[in-house]
Amino acid sequence: MNTATGFDWLHGRGGYAYGKALKEDARRYYGCRQGFGAQGTMVPNDDTFCELDPKMKDQWGIPVLRFHWKWSDFELRQVLHQQKLIAELLSAMGGKFSGPPETADALKVIRAGGAVIHEVGGAIMGERRPNSVTNRWGQTWDVKNLFMADGAPFASTADKNPTLTIMALAWRAVDHLIEERQKGNL
């Protein structure tokens, strides 16, 4: 999840300037604009999941994934908290905040699901089924010798970028796989 805000020199005079005033504002405020982007964490919820589309297929006749998405209170409150903090930071810096107010509708401030390119957890890991697709090693419950070593088994979307965690989980999964293989379990 992600939200962005900032203040804008075009609002320096309390509204959009035009003509000569615009040029004066551009000179006066140039280099003084500050924007903030905030990344947050998303926890799993029952309304956010993917499944095989019952109708649509790709060019090879394989069913495509269908995504369902709903922000929960957890993410929406987080976004409002981010807005509030960013406004406080900008004010402390002597800036004027031109982003949405703290009381804004969080659904209008938060970016649409899928827009942040860090979405993970399509085949979530967990302690047991039916709430998860894989165990803690990324090994699927349904197929014993199938391990997911990508972003799919993430148990949540952290506020951090995913790639290093994907690598760490893949490493951990392979260590486990080797051990299980040596024991003759796979």
Ligand X SMILES: Cc1cc2nc3c(=O)[nH]c(=O)nc-3n(C[C@H](O)[C@H](O)[C@H](O)COP(=O)(O)OP(=O)(O)OC[C@H]3O[C@@H](n4cnc5c(N)ncnc54)[C@H](O)[C@@H]3O)c2cc1C
Select the residue interacting with ligand X from 9, 118, 121, 173 (CB under 6 A): 118
Select the residue interacting with ligand X from 92, 93, 117, 143 (CB under 6 A): 117
Q: Which is nearer to ligand X, 117 or 143 (CB)?
A: 117
Q: Which is nearer to ligand X, 161 or 185 (CB)?
A: 161
Site for ligand X in 153-182 (CB under 6 A): 161-163, 166
Residue whose C-alpha is closest to residue 141's, from 123, 167, 165, 121: 123
Is residue 145 involved in binding ligand X (CB under 6 A)?
no
Q: Are 87 and 99 in contact (CB under 8 A)?
A: yes
Tabulate helix, strand, coil % of the chain (nearest 5). 30, 15, 50
What are the DSSP calls for 43-60, one per residue? ---TT-EEEEEEEEE-TT
CB of 14 to ligand X, least distance (A): 37
CB of 94 to ligand X, least distance (A): 32
Instruction: Identify each DSSP E strand in 23-162 by its residue range.
Output: 35-39, 49-57, 63-68
Residues contributing to the site for ligand X (CB under 6 A): 62, 117-118, 120, 150-152, 161-163, 166
